[in-house]
Structure 1
Amino acid sequence: MSLLRPRLRLFSALRNTSTQPTRRFATEARTLTSDHVRIVEVGPRDGLQNEKKSIPLEIKIQLIEKLAKTGVTTIEAGSFVPAKWVPQMASTGEILEHLIRSPPQSQHTIAYNYLVPNVKGLENLVKIMDAEGATAEMPGSPSKPATTTEISLFAAATEAFSRANTNCTIAESLERIKPIVELAKSRNIRVRGYVSVALGCPYEGPNVPPSKVAEITASLLEMGADEVSVADTTGMGTAPRTLELLRTLTAAGIANSDLALHFHDTYGQALVNTIVGLEHGIRIFDSSVGGLGGCPYSKGATGNVATEDLVHTLHSLGMHTGVNLEEMSKIGAWISNELGRANESRAGKATLARLEGSCQL
């Protein structure tokens, strides 16, 4: 018997066995295997967007270039939001131009993802792509690795958070999303949806109705989103409530292959909830190198689960990510030092300590 299966039954008492529903949505989800996990590195966007200290463009580009060499295949590179909303993302257009002209060296095709809050944001992205003669999918060559350009968009699971974050109701936000998806599809741009505060809201508390999350997730997929990341923005999620949410999504006919999970580690539960997701069959997880990130609308919310910690946990369970933990750990230490903040990854710090010890022997 494989060692993998017993290890992934850590929470078997919490769950009932159920069959995977027939796919209901005509999406283009990437092929998933039982032991492979795709990590979406969100550090350059979600991780940096709330930093108070202004970050030079050169540092952002260096971060992306370093990450591209670790084995990750999806990187959030920036956000086409107005600079007055998120000053840290003001250089996203320049980042896109650089990645089109000089994509970082990588052994794999890298998908670079950009958040667009409205049609105007996507139009700005498309304008740059047209000016550079770029398409959503750029085949590789001896001088340029293959890349794809993707977008992400947001909806919230509670009315209070939706109004605080987008100044509109949930229904209004979904109406705003429709033309974004339509334009993206007309340009062959892959779309990733997010459902924020799915396991806890700073205004409405921890008991967000799972049925509401499922309803919004289904709406995004039906519009044409290729994948939806269900986000515990505040880090309030617990193992039982994560399981309840996943069961509700399954009961709504949403396939695991259409879903990603996005955990913040405010209460130290991100990896616990990750294992619940793994047991349920989720194989796409978001994380941020060095545990960068936070939520400006949620007091005390810490960063995303650290990529190094996620990779270490997944590898210890016999899963495969294709990510080099040692290289990711070095990047976590480097960017934390550049930002003048503590490295929030325990596995990253332990890995570096081990490497330093090996060098001294």
Structure 2
Amino acid sequence: MSTFSFSRPESFKFECRTIGIVVFPGVEALDITGPSEVFNFANLSLQKQGISEHNIYSIKLLAKKPGPVTTMSGLQLVAPDAYGDLNAEIDTLLIPGGDMEQVLSDTKLIDWIKAMSPKVRRLVSVCTGAFLLAEAGLLEGCKATTHWNYCQRLAREYPGIQVKPDYIFIQEGHIFTSGGITSGIDLALALLEEDWGRDLALFVARFLVVFLKRPGGQSQFSSYLACEASQRPDLRELQAWIIEHVDQDMRIEALAERMAMSPRNFARLFLTETGMTPAKFVEMTRIDRARHLLETGELSVEAIASQTGFKDAERMRRAFIRLLAVNPRHYRQRFGQSTTA
């Protein structure tokens, strides 16, 4: 293992912080193992460098009762403790996601999370674990995020939450929520940096071959087209046509004409049925196609802009930055098969 610099004031003292992680049947394994590896590599790094003789983090898995728990993937994790056994020891309580349908009815767990919130220094959710915090009433009036595929559901079922779909993670006071699955690694690195500084967090990120601060948001990895009109077959057909003809005239007047409707009535219907304006749907469809071309081919950015209906590269660049927080060239560098631009 390579070395790194770790600067700290003379008065700095190492202490071991307990990370309590709730596990339940159907939990997403990576929500647990991802953050755990960040904290464990921090332990290993400091010990290998001779900077600390002891662990700086202690990971405790907490289940309804001690014993094996089967994850969503079928892997089994063994929880040595039950939640409620280590209340005084927990510094950071992490709530992972997974199969929420059963666990959301566990009132004992919900009540315990609510009771623990003021007692822990940090309360953290990964992926759909945000639903447990929401059910406990801890996200009311707060900004929060969850897996991109569940953001609409979170907003619908808990309207008091300001759901932010494109965030990797969000902090509100001592409560942190993070996006889909691997976002738990991003959040764990941020917590590590908060506790021990950038040097150690950056070293662990490099060792795990991940960004310390990932560029862009969840929307780089989500499907923008998960807004199918459920009640109108004719509108679904129009959406399918838009997806297949992104380079065509997509002005609202042209789309309304295809539906034999006035532009005003068409715009109102589209928004009601899909939750977004026609212009937004078209823009996201074009970005989705442009992303595919950037990831899989060697066409120039200018050619892709032309083929996807953006007309020019500058217009596509502005759309990428607005919705993905990264420009097309940088997107290709990170996710493409070729660096040719």
TM-score (norm 1): 0.29
Higher relative contact order by CA 8 Å / sep ≥ 6: 1 or 2?
1
In our comparison, the structure showing a higher alpha carbon Rg is 2
